[in-house]
Amino acid sequence: MYWFFIIIPGAYLLGSIPTSVWLGKALKGVDLREHGSGNAGATNAFRVLGKPIGSAVLVLDMLKGFLAVNLALLQHELVPGSEAWMILKIGLGLLAVVGHIFPVFAGFRGGKGVATITGVALAIHPLAALAAMGIYLLVFLLTRISAMGSLTAVLTYPIWINWVFKSEYLTIRIFSLLVVLLVLITHRSNILRLVRGEEKSLFRKQGT
């Protein structure tokens, strides 16, 4: 059981790596949280730091969530494929998301968690995650608004999990609903701006 005392805090610490803050300071000499929307996520990184760094932030933030879930491979107490195994994997993924939103390495001021949640979702149920990512891409190409794509994709995620792919795991079905709740909470300001028609395009300097 000693592995649990390593992988549980490890998932949070992995999520706490503030990729956008560190890359912004190292490559541009700026703290991303002091520019644009003040958010330390991939969307603000694209706007403030540019496409190459924004792309790196996006991939690395997704990787944090993906790797956190797979920390479950380091323990040998639970049977792979069991419901308990899946609870552990989802728990580790959610800890990484919490770490991303409240990173200990960056004064607990992080991003909104969408990229890290995407990485978690890819590790939990790849097909459903890819389907939701396809929805994001479609909506983003139509609107050029990242928040619109993220919210639409997240709202469809339980549909993919519960009715299209019909996951056998109760834990995954519950996780799909928790993802919706979490993203709606972290995107409250975006939702208000969308309602007001004030949400900006991804590659403009002001916005989310």
Residue 206 located in a structural domain: no
Question: Quick one: residue 108, left, alpha or beta (phi over 0 = left, psi -120 to 50 = alpha)?
Answer: left
Query: For position 1, what pLDDT does the model report?
Result: 67
Query: For position 170, what pLDDT does the model report?
Result: 96
Residue 202 located in a structural domain: no
6 to 47, 68, 88, 92, 134: CA distances (angstroms) = 36, 12, 13, 11, 35
Q: Which residues touch 181 (CB under 8 Å, ≥6 apart)?
A: none
Q: Which of 38, 2, 1 lies closest to 20, judged by CA? A: 38
Residue 22 located in a structural domain: yes
Residue 204 located in a structural domain: no
Q: Which residues touch 9 (CB under 8 Å, ≥6 apart)?
A: none
Residue 92 located in a structural domain: yes
Q: Which residues touch 47 (CB under 8 Å, ≥6 apart)?
A: 36, 37, 54, 202, 203, 204, 205, 206, 207
Do 208 and 190 touch, CB atoms closer than 8 A? yes
Residue 106 located in a structural domain: yes
Q: How far apart are CA 190 and CA 195, in angstroms?
A: 9
Residue 35 located in a structural domain: yes
pLDDT (tens, 9 = 90+) of the chain, 208 residues, equals: 678 889 999 999 999 999 999 999 999 999 999 998 888 999 999 989 999 999 999 999 999 999 999 999 998 889 999 999 999 999 999 999 999 999 999 999 999 999 999 999 999 999 999 999 999 999 999 998 999 999 999 999 999 999 999 999 999 999 999 999 999 999 999 999 999 988 888 755 433 3
DSSP conformation letters of 52-97: HHHHHHHHHHHHHHHHHHGGGGG--SSPTTSHHHHHHHHHHHHHHH
Write out the two tokens for 70: 């797979």
pTM for the full predicted model: 0.93
- Residues recorded for the chain: 208
Query: For position 197, what pLDDT does the model report?
Result: 87
Which residues form the domain of 147?
4-196
- The count of structural domains within the chain is 1
Residue 172 located in a structural domain: yes
